[in-house]
Amino acid sequence: MHGDPQLKERVRAVNSWRNGEAWRDVVFLEGSSEAQTISDGLTIARTRLSFSFKFKDHLHECALIEDFEYVRSTPNEDSGMWIVKPKLRGRYRRSCIIPITHIYRGAHLLPIHGVDNQKVPPTVSYANQLDFYSQFYVSKPYNPHESLGA
């Protein structure tokens, strides 16, 4: 992962976390360095699988991801947070394989409750909420060098 060279993060994409439900982390993918806004510069994606393979004596480390798209080109006026929704190809979530070097850092999505008058069934958990909800707030990346009071 890129970003702060002193910061190390672990990205999980496992079918069972500690004998429990699946754990599939959400990440920011690198975008354009000339972007003016987060929606122009970073893509949000959920990791589904990480794998590697050797081809002509070169190890390729990859991730299967499902990406999200920004609902608007500006943050939400009330929260100041960006809103994303799953990117679809027809009725299905768009997925692709990327080199893990394209992963910038971990991200957090917060489900937006009440979109389309959805009621939350008791079966929704951290493991399946990205499949249940239709829109999410993108939590601002934590920067340990920023002042919390600013």
Q: What is the predicted pLDDT for the residue at 67?
A: 93
Q: Would you state the pLDDT for residue 124? A: 86
CA of 89: how far to CAs of 86, 92, 121, 123, 135, in Å?
Answer: 10, 5, 27, 26, 17
pLDDT for the residue 88: 94
For residue 141, the model assigns a pLDDT of 63
pLDDT along the chain (150 residues), means of 10: 59 75 83 71 90 95 94 90 94 93 89 78 84 88 49
Domain range summary for the chain, segments of one domain joined by +: 13-138
pLDDT at 150: 41
Q: Is 87 left (phi over 0), alpha (psi -120 to 50) or beta?
A: beta
- Closest among 99, 109, 92 to 45, alpha carbons compared: 109
